Amino acid sequence: MLPFKLIYSDDYFLPIGAHVFPAEKYRRIRDRLISTGVATAKNFLEPQLASDEDILLVHTPEYVRKLKTGTLSPREEMELEVPFSPELVRAFWLAAGGSILAARQALTDRVAFNIGGGFHHAFPDHGEGFCMINDVAVAIRRMQRDDKIRTAMTADCDVHQGNGTAAIFAGTRTESVPLPSTSASMLSPTAAKTKMRGAHAGDVFTISLHQHNNYPQYKPPSSIDVDLPDGVGDDDYLAWLDNALSSGLRQFEPDLLCYIAGADPYREDQLGGLDLSIEGLKKRDELVFRVARARDIPVMVSYAGGYARDIEDTVTIHSNTVIAAKEVFCVLS
């Protein structure tokens, strides 16, 4: 039995046909967690659809109208890179409802998972890269509107930069300054090429750790961007993540941490070019949870991408994130 909740619905399935995005991964993660005894059915909560009002906390009325009336232009539909349907719209509204519920649960249980969501390429006025609605941004704005939190931090560890999230929370920014990379000299030559950029002002602090040479081509600035070169492995990745989280938390005190736990930094990923192992990805999860626990910051997890050649690996990586939370939040509490 887990001391936290997993938000899940069979309707998270994205009706997109044959596609590199494994739409059935959510159900498989749920099944794996139950069949391996990590979780029981009682750990799961069913989300409700986000309301249009919730979605409008982040997205423009014009964009929401187009989605609800099925009137995206061919170009807008192409940018989304998944086939539009009313059922797809419903699945994204549900993912946003799931992230809202996960955020709320995190505030009471210290950690909660949306076994879905993490659609970080959705902008206020358009969707792209398989992402229609930025569920994490909607959850943050809803928690703020309900006076449950004032500030939040996103820690986006998907292999692709969180461009939508960065744009949504851009706010007013100060001049970008190079951050101290205390451990850079101790890292390998590969990591020495890594660039860390930072600038911040606003109520949501965004961190993105991603492969520089990958989608999206234009990367709007996050509060901290760690632009990793191709082929970065476990040790360098973990050092840069540690560095980014420490830098972020020196500058900013979040009431909620939103961890976007993409599985695509994995070395066998079809859309990624980093070299993390399954064990390294679990260490990544543990690091995020240990940092949050040490500072008593509630964590809401969402899953974002994962395109391993073998879908079972993607399911293992995402399931391990739950196991990592269980280990960090149970054993030590």
- List contacts with Zn ion (CB under 5 A): 158, 160, 262, 264, 305
Task: State the amino acid at position 70 in one-letter form.
Answer: G
To Zn ion, the closest distance from the beta carbon of 260 in angstroms equals: 9
> What is the C-alpha separation between 127 and 129, in angstroms, rounded?
7
Task: State the amino acid at position 39 in one-letter form.
Answer: A
Find residue 226's DSSP bridge partners.
196, 209
**Contact in structure between 25 and 10 (CB atoms under 8 Å):** no
Residue 307, C-beta contacts closer than 8 angstroms, at least 6 positions apart: 20, 21, 22, 264, 269, 270, 271, 272, 314
To Zn ion, the closest distance from the beta carbon of 160 in angstroms equals: 4
To Zn ion, the closest distance from the beta carbon of 6 in angstroms equals: 21
> What is the C-alpha separation between 101 and 95, in angstroms, rounded?
10
Say if strands 195-198 and 224-228 run parallel, antiparallel, or are unpaired.
antiparallel
> What is the C-alpha separation between 321 and 112, in angstroms, rounded?
11
To Zn ion, the closest distance from the beta carbon of 205 in angstroms equals: 21
Q: What does DSSP assign to residue 205?
A: E
Return the number of the residue (220 or 262) whose C-beta is nearest Zn ion: 262
Instruction: Reduce the DSSP state of residue 324 to 3 states and report it.
Output: helix
Torsion of CA 283, 252, 111, 52, to 10 degrees: -120
To Zn ion, the closest distance from the beta carbon of 159 in angstroms equals: 5
Return the number of the residue (5 or 160) whose C-beta is nearest Zn ion: 160
Return the number of the residue (81 or 255) whose C-beta is nearest Zn ion: 81
To Zn ion, the closest distance from the beta carbon of 157 in angstroms equals: 10
Return the number of the residue (129 or 248) whose C-beta is nearest Zn ion: 129
Instruction: Reduce the DSSP state of residue 309 to 3 states and report it.
Output: coil
Q: Which of 316, 320, 259 is nearest to 289 (CA)?
A: 259
Return the number of the residue (262 or 298) whose C-beta is nearest Zn ion: 262
Q: Which residue is nearest to Zn ion, using beta carbons?
A: 305
To Zn ion, the closest distance from the beta carbon of 326 in angstroms equals: 25
Return the number of the residue (143 or 281) whose C-beta is nearest Zn ion: 281
Strands (E) across 55-116 are located at 111-114
Return the number of the residue (264 or 275) whose C-beta is nearest Zn ion: 264
> What is the C-alpha separation between 203 and 153, in angstroms, rounded?
9
